[in-house]
Amino acid sequence: MGFRKNHAIVLGLVLIVIASVTLLISWSGNDQNIVRELQEEPKLTVYVNETGQIQEMMLEEYIAAVVAGEMFPDWPVEAYAAQAIFARSFTMDFISAGGVKDKYGADVSTSIQETQAFNPDAVTEDIKKGVEMTRGEVMTYDNRYVRGWFHAYSGGITARAKEGLDYQEEEPPFTASVKLAENEYVPDDVKSWTAEYSAAELKNLLASTGLNVGDIQGIEITERGPTERVTQITVTGTNGEQTITGPEFRLAVDSTKMKSTLVKEFSFADGVLTITGTGYGHGVGLSQWDAFMLAKQGKSPEEIVETFFQGIKMRKIYD
């Protein structure tokens, strides 16, 4: 799952891992993502969506291009290194499940909707350094890949998967809701944002989800999660009333406009919905702007990663 950066922010997409030999009882019940030590760095096949070509490259080269696609060129090296752990973990988990072999005959693609952001032209020396700092490092839980979700900014508190992502499976044991300190580095339009939609605009946007209540007459939040993120919205119209989850609503109305479900104001008046909130992204896992802050505070890449999950183990799966 993935989210791209919008002008001044990074949207994040998600991730997972590989590393060891012992088979343990899994939280997921799936044998595909058992972690193992590798004798050498894996080589990947990458489907380039823009050209339709398949390229071969070493995993660390691919990870550097992913980090460059997910973060800015002037961030702390330790933040790049933490992002590299997430990207490497996600990639190893993704290809263990078959990658995009069925679709393109390759391990991964360059589409952010399918895998992760990918921008080899934006790789800097600091990004290379950050990737090299954590070469071969991945996250594990009970010797299996960790679903390492990430996003741009938490708004001060992260969410667990069911709340932030409307995750339909059992809540993974490693997810956590983490309170973060005030972050002085976050851009103003990420720390506090406003989005407006007319009733007609909302009707068209929500039609893509299958929601059709006719002309919209009212819309309200009917459920919030433990971190006060919106988890359910009820829409009333000339054809009746329907509900939609907060995460699904956000994606439908443009997730770069309604930046998160950590909403402060949600009011519908005179045919216009006004939403104000904080944060950017789904709020689960690594918060990139908070990783920036933690790096500035002198935290190591591993300490940054372990801030956002509980019970995970870092493993180096190849030299």
CB 21 within 8 A of CB 37: yes
User: Is 87 in the same domain as 142?
Assistant: yes
What is the DSSP code (8-state) at residue 172?
A: P
CB 311 within 8 A of CB 31: no
- Residue with the two structure tokens 């983490």: 178
User: Is 172 in the same domain as 231?
Assistant: no
The first and second tokens of residue 314, run together, are 């870092």
CA-based torsion, 58, 64, 68, 73: positive or negative: negative
What is the DSSP code (8-state) at residue 290?
A: H
pLDDT of residue 30: 58
CB 97 within 8 A of CB 34: no
User: Is 198 in the same domain as 166?
Assistant: no
User: Is 175 in the same domain as 88?
Assistant: yes
pLDDT digits (tens, 9 = 90+) for 98-113: 999 999 999 999 998 8
User: Is 170 in the same domain as 47?
Assistant: yes
Residue 103's Cα: distance from chain center in Å? 23
pLDDT digits (tens, 9 = 90+) for 158-171: 999 999 999 999 99
Residue 214's Cα: distance from chain center in Å? 33
Instruction: Give the pTM.
Output: 0.86
**The pLDDT of residue 175 is above 80:** yes
CB 38 within 8 A of CB 138: no
| Residue 117 CB contacts under 8 Å (≥ 6 apart), including other chains | 2, 4, 5, 13, 66, 69, 70
Q: Tell me, yes or no, whether 121 lies in a domain.
A: yes
pLDDT digits (tens, 9 = 90+) for 216-248: 999 999 999 999 999 999 999 999 999 999 999
Q: Tell me, yes or no, whether 5 lies in a domain.
A: no
**The pLDDT of residue 262 is above 70:** yes
User: Is 309 in the same domain as 241?
Assistant: no
Q: What's the total number of domains in the chain? A: 2
Distances (CA, A) of 26 to 29, 35, 92, 314: 5, 11, 17, 17
Residue 275: name the closest of 245, 238, 246 by CA.
246
pLDDT of residue 26: 34
Q: Tell me, yes or no, whether 72 lies in a domain.
A: yes
User: Is 145 in the same domain as 51?
Assistant: yes
Range of the domain at 205: 193-277
Q: Which residue has the higher pLDDT, 8 or 272?
A: 272
* Mean pLDDT within 67-75: 94
Residue 274's Cα: distance from chain center in Å? 25
